[in-house]
Structure 1
């Protein structure tokens, strides 16, 4: 039977789901309910008494402030550490995410008359997750969600970088394959800031060279959702609203923020014009960008000024964006990327929050450009709609096998061992700069570890370095729990590492008899009683 190839962009605030048509070679967006937009809110609502009444998207949003429903959003930001903790609520972020994904797949299956077994699915994830300790386990939580839903992640589900998926969209749909050169993707959405450097090769593939950014954490993250909250706080304060009830997390405040988000999305052009005047006048001209109309029974209208938007962006977004772009520019310089090249260098702004004029203005300034000025490096064909849907669209193209993607390993991984003289040495196994596919099979160190040393049980300290400095993972007693046949006193072990199809480093421990245990490095960090130590390591030693 013909497989259905789909792309799923699970966003912090909005998601998109699309399918590739083998006959027309087009990408079709799956639209929920009567919603005409290509994306839908990442929100799920459970009826408190009737378990069968569970809604996602716009349908769930209608019940956001109903006391009869338990409503969850921004759960994507909490899929890392603590994803399975409910924080006093009925469901954990993991459970909310699993049910949301399950409902999306169910609705699509029922609408198209296909089963989960008929799908090849590409789920996009922030590339920056792998660089942050508290988010490293998030990808594995997503993989577990699909396994729980009955989809085999070893063959039918794959996870691709959000910025890389956007680059695939740009290369195929905007450029029609007629671009070869470097692409810096600035993916700024509702919760995360993700920058990735890619290279569009002449053979039609994309090489992924470097990533940086800010993965966000907690309830708001560091991107659009945090910005929305900051502007809403300004509105509440300026209009003299009761400070006891207009605070984040309270229904009145959340209703105001929800109304602001809707008006912001619908008022992109007027907001842009107001901000242009504000910046050009040095803040002297402060026009109204748009007005927020509160839904019944409030019926109040509040003006949002250009200064509200500019100052909120300055307070919660500007520094993180500036630092991340400058880090990327530094890396481009180290790799001899010509950032002035109008023929072979592009900067793509994607993600819903990238439509905010403040974002484009900041990024352009850092690259020596100006918003509103024709600059070939900032392709004008990437319009508002393209920025919001490029990630899901590109994921769908990857699922269809349109553009091969090759990743470069950015994490050095190894372990510490003691030699016969009792000296501790660092043993790197996976090296940065190598193609990820080279590590599909485990790479074993030639050294072996004895079960005991000087009558003491041996331990194992791992280390990894994402480019931000080495991190030591002290295993202590956890080492014995993952070793095969650790009860044999004369056993010896070889340590190896590989990188699986989801680009997750795997720890291999093989004993003298050839029996092997495999556990992901991130599971080792998150689930075993290991101690994480950030420290400077000198070459060849701790």
Structure 2
């Protein structure tokens, strides 16, 4: 099949597309033509019949406060319908907004900057998603994102966990380097610290064998961690600069605030090298550099070292809390951190790197803090990894974490009814082993009348902690046909995107129905988040 197999880091704040060039190098797509950006803001605007995305949509929001615009819509995907009016207007949903954004970004015929118009046909797609989306059973983000991609007829290969994608890029690049140098490639425990615009997530990944990657431990809270990442820092910096100049704060929905935010972000990215030197000196000699201006933006707004540190303080506290839990988990299980890989656009900020090193109790020059990846490669690591997976350059082995099964009634020798919990999916099993249905080890089930549903009770043990939660499915299972001779077996499978399905199959293999379990699991675990 011709076309590009691409990787998409669909970020809370920015999105990055990667593809392989004709010279077999992985490259980040430049949205907007020769003067475009590889960071594409995950932002959308609806101006009458026109749809704008990225920087154009942010400019629209900054200059026209009455125009309908949305950011952070990816993290709104799992929000229940009754809470949507807080975030979405005009009968839209986070899923419909996500679909519109991906259409404009990837396949729109009307948008001259879409990937298909600029680069060519998409023959395969791997999209990265937050690791918490597979751990939090309430979170239907994977299912809804997969549906949005299907609505665009895009050939989805899989949704992949963000730390797995980053680790995939790390192991691929390290293997290339080792081959060039004639050395052995890295194997061991890699701590992936993903600090982006919207979230701070940490994953301990085991890298071994022929580019194999397992996630051993994860800590992060998805959209619940929004105060611990880049956008929160930017907002606090803008408010601090505005208050210093006007002695008041600014409504963050005001177009003027959005304009200042955009200007500050541009200056922050463009002055990265200079600011790093300033901050390094200021930390060493605060009495000399403490009052120096660190940022000047938007014609008269400025921030000194003390103001920057104050804006960063809540983020530093969040980093410390997460890393302390990581260190506790590692100590209890006698694991190690062999390398640290900082990914995401905000991870290269000097104060972020310093806070992570301090929380890990590493010296800033500790060789485990891998400094061999430059700013660009660290920022694009998740997208690059997704692209490598799409093109079969790395084949990480992810696991499904939860135990799943059904409850059945049995009749013992004394004609007494007993309930049995039958395990079908064992948590910790690799996804490749679950691609085909696993069937319950029980006699076939029968129905006694036409149109009668097959009554089942599902049980779930989240992350294999030994706590079973049950949910009856009295109206869910509708058999494809009825015959007194039919006998049915019950199974489950999990696809490459970590989405679980209930399978009902006639024992002769002639008839089968499947039901996605996302809605059921969300109902069973409202608001569920499990911090290890």
- Please give the TM-score of this superposition, normalised by the length of structure 2: 0.82
- 2:344 maps to which of 335, 338, 351: 351
* 3-state SS of 2:15 partner: strand
* 3-state SS of 1:176 partner: helix
1:165 and 1:391 in contact (8 A); partners too: yes
Report the Cα distance in structure 2 between the residues aligned to 1:240 and 1:416, rounded to whole angstroms. 65
Match of 1:97 in 2: 98
Change (3 A) 1:181 1:451: same
1:138-187 Cα distance to aligned partner (Å, 9 max, x none)? 1111111111111243xxx3222222222222223355153231222111
Report the Cα distance in structure 2 between the residues aligned to 1:462 and 1:451, rounded to whole angstroms. 22
Report the Cα distance in structure 1 between the residues aligned to 2:447 and 2:528, rounded to whole angstroms. 27
Report the Cα distance in structure 1 between the residues aligned to 2:246 and 2:135, rounded to whole angstroms. 42
Change (3 A) 1:260 1:471: farther
1:200-256 Cα distance to aligned partner (Å, 9 max, x none)? 3332x222132412243379464222332333343444444544xx13333333333
**1:347 to partner: Cα distance:** 0.8
Match of 1:146 in 2: 149
Residues 212-221 or 192-201, more deviating: 212-221
**1:129 to partner: Cα distance:** 1.5
Change (3 A) 1:150 1:289: farther
Report the Cα distance in structure 2 between the residues aligned to 1:115 and 1:5, rounded to whole angstroms. 9
Match of 1:229 in 2: 235
Report the Cα distance in structure 2 between the residues aligned to 1:501 and 1:480, rounded to whole angstroms. 28
1:280-313 Cα distance to aligned partner (Å, 9 max, x none)? 468996344533423xxxx4x2222333333333
Match of 1:121 in 2: 125
Change (3 A) 1:276 1:427: farther
1:398 aligns with 2:389: yes
Report the Cα distance in structure 2 between the residues aligned to 1:416 and 1:386, rounded to whole angstroms. 49
Match of 2:182 in 1: none
Report the Cα distance in structure 2 between the residues aligned to 1:483 and 1:281, rounded to whole angstroms. 71
Report the Cα distance in structure 1 between the residues aligned to 2:489 and 2:228, rounded to whole angstroms. 42
Report the Cα distance in structure 1 between the residues aligned to 2:468 and 2:349, rounded to whole angstroms. 36
Change (3 A) 1:402 1:67: same
Q: Which has the higher contact order (CA 8 A, sep 6+)?
A: 2
Report the Cα distance in structure 2 between the residues aligned to 1:488 and 1:283, rounded to whole angstroms. 86
In the TM superposition, 1:228-267 aligns within 5 A as 228-243=234-249, 246-267=250-271
1:506 aligns with 2:501: yes
2:65 and 2:255 in contact (8 A); partners too: no
- 1:463 maps to which of 460, 482, 487: 460
1:5-51 Cα distance to aligned partner (Å, 9 max, x none)? 21111111111112212x41112322122435432222222212xx1
Report the Cα distance in structure 1 between the residues aligned to 2:256 and 2:484, rounded to whole angstroms. 64
1:516-537 Cα distance to aligned partner (Å, 9 max, x none)? 43223323234xx65759799x
Report the Cα distance in structure 2 between the residues aligned to 1:400 and 1:322, rounded to whole angstroms. 37
Listed as ranges, the gaps of 5+ residues in structure 1 are 340-344, 537-542
1:122 and 1:399 in contact (8 A); partners too: yes
1:207 and 1:408 in contact (8 A); partners too: no
Size of the aligned set, in residue pairs, is 502
1:274 and 1:287 in contact (8 A); partners too: no
In the TM superposition, 1:54-69 aligns within 5 A as 54-65=51-62, 66-67=64-65, 69=67
- Please give the TM-score of this superposition, normalised by the length of structure 1: 0.81
Q: What is the RMSD of the two structures over their aligned residues, measured on CA atoms?
A: 3.6
Change (3 A) 1:512 1:199: closer
Change (3 A) 1:400 1:257: same
Listed as ranges, the gaps of 5+ residues in structure 2 are 108-113, 179-184, 449-453
